[in-house]
Structure 1
Amino acid sequence: MCKFKNKIVFITGAGGGIGKATAMTFAKVGANVVLADVKKEFVEPLAQDIQKLGGKALALALDVTEYQSVKNAVDEAVKTFGTLDIAVNNAGVVGIGSIEEIDEQEWDRVLSVNAKGVFICTKVALEVMKPQKSGAIINTASIAGKMGMAHLSHYVASKFAVIGFTNSIAKEVAETGITVNAICPGIIGTGMWRGEGGIADRWKQPGETEAQSWERNKKTLIPQGVDQSAEDIAEAVVFLASAPHITGQAIAVDGGMTM
């Protein structure tokens, strides 16, 4: 892992969950980490934590759906650290609802962040990486980018888009030395899966509590029978960033769910 010493990693959606775990994992192996989220205050505490551990971190605000916002953030990162070696395009939103419940505004909200955001962040990252003929881009997709799931049609559509886009760009830049891959997290017991209105709640059987639904679905859907953690995903992201001959792949970390 010493190959990450002083490497510059730009992570969107770094304020929590997978983004936060990814930032901490890269920092622990020597990388300088740029933490980007929709509000700077979402990532400032994490930057301070990394600095206390002796690492270097820069907290920035950006809107992944706006090219100039992303461009400004990446320019600031390059101005601070000199270059950009790894881009983890992790920012995303979730949405749950039947086809009757999803309206145009909700469809646009999810697709704009999850699909357009990855497009813009990849485009801007390549503006730095292509001239230097090196770099790694990892886009956060989902197991929902490999299989349909009830009450998640717009979210599923956005993640299928991320995988297809990743495959295409990987082929475009294959001869430049830049790798482009997608990571597909499995079931993590936070966010869209747990709590009132989450998938476990939505998929309850008659007489079941949300907690009972969660345990049943976890054991039914995941061959290993256990959910994944944000740290599990982060370790896979770091692996992809270190693998010069893996590109155009959508790697699932899901306990065998999509095998």
Structure 2
Amino acid sequence: MLLEKKNAVIYGAGGGVGSALAQAFAREGANVFLAGRTLSKLDAVAQAVSDVGGVAQTAQIDVLDEQAVEVFTDTVVKSAGRIDVCVNVANFADPGGLGKPLTDLSLESFANPVINYTRAYFLTTRAAARRMVAKRSGVILTLTAPLARVPIPAFGGLAPSWAVLEAISRSFAVELGPQGIRVVGIRSDAIPETAVVRNAYSSRASLLGLTREEIQAQTESLTLLRRLPTLTEVTNMAVFLASDQASAMTATFANLSCGSLIE
């Protein structure tokens, strides 16, 4: 198993991606610590982890609350001894900012995802890194999208949000590398299996007079593979990046865009 005896913290664990990551990590032998805003969703994920033979603990945490993040991180270390992997997939997409040109957005709609993604990622990464330094090892992982690199209209503040996360990741990577800590990420195109993507497609469809299926088909047609990534593909890559098999990788984002982004 690639993550045997590893301790993995997952923020945003109650969502579609977070839940899939928790189960994938657990199948590979990791103990998972699930943090999120809705305890009932976290408990459901914990049960799914248990069903695949894993061990999970849950905590209702607001990742925008600095003190709450620090206390939670200390609790994990006291319980498990160390943090080996920290993943933040908390979602802060502003539905009011999707499907509209920037000129029609309020400052609040544009700024909300930029401010919230930046704050959440910085707080959770800093908290984990401070504890990882003591062990001189650890992996910090995040998820962005091709929007961080490719201009696509009508996505509000999401593009700059993800571009900022990638820049912060590189900054952490250069500072933490000498301490044995890797900072990596996945740049995935839309994952249609998730509720977030389905809702985003529905919002764009209603504004453009199309169906959700037509929006998805348009997106798929822009990729070289003529399809979009699956949750399994994303979680498989996350497991690899978090494992020792990727021990030479840091300050980089794996391209899981199915060819919508060519690098």
The TM-score with structure 2 as length reference comes to 0.90
Distance (Å, rounded) in 2 between the aligned partners of 1:199 and 1:168: 34
Q: Which runs of 5+ in 1 are unaligned?
A: none
Offset of residue 36 of structure 1: 0.8
Give me the whole-angstrom Cα distance separating, in 1, the residues matched to 2:214 and 2:253.
Answer: 31
Q: Who is 1:216 aligned against? A: 218
The residue number in structure 1 matching 2:152 is 149
Structure 2 counterparts to residues 219-234 of structure 1, below 5 A: 219=221, 221-234=222-235
The partner residue of 1:134 within 133, 137, 162 is: 137
In structure 1, the residue corresponding to 2:171 is in which secondary structure?
A: helix
Relative to 1, partners in 2 of residues 1:254 and 1:199: Cα closer, same or farther, differing over 3 Å?
farther
Q: 2:2 touches 2:240 (CA, 8 Å); kept in 1?
A: no
How many angstroms does 1:191 deviate by?
3.9
- Larger CA deviation: 139-148 vs 31-40: 139-148
**Aligned counterpart for 2:109 among listed residues 106, 111, 115:** 106
CA deviations 1:94-145 (Å, max 9, x no partner) are 2313223422322332123312111111100011101110000001221111
> 5+ unaligned residues in a row in structure 2: which ranges?
none
Amino acid in structure 2 at the alignment position of 1:250: F
Indicate the structure with greater helix content. Answer: 2
Deviation at 1:246, TM superposition (A): 0.1
Aligned-pair CA distance for 1:251: 1.4
| Counterpart residue number, 2:50 | 51
Instruction: State the partner residue of 1:235.
Output: 236
Residues 83, 134 of structure 1: CA spacing in aligned structure 2 closer, same or farther, 3 A cutoff? same
Two-structure CA RMSD over aligned residues (Å): 1.9
Q: TM-score, normalised by structure 1?
A: 0.91
Secondary structure, counterpart of 1:4 in structure 2: coil
Fraction of identical pairs, as percent: 25
Deviations 1:195-233 (A, max 9, x none): 4764651674x7x433223213312x1110112122211
CA contact (8 A) 1:200 1:217 kept: no
Task: Give the letter for the 1:258 counterpart.
Answer: L
Aligned positions of 1:88-107 closer than 5 A: 88-95=87-94, 96=98, 97-107=100-110
Amino acid at match of 1:137: I
Structure 1 counterpart of 2:138, one-letter code = G
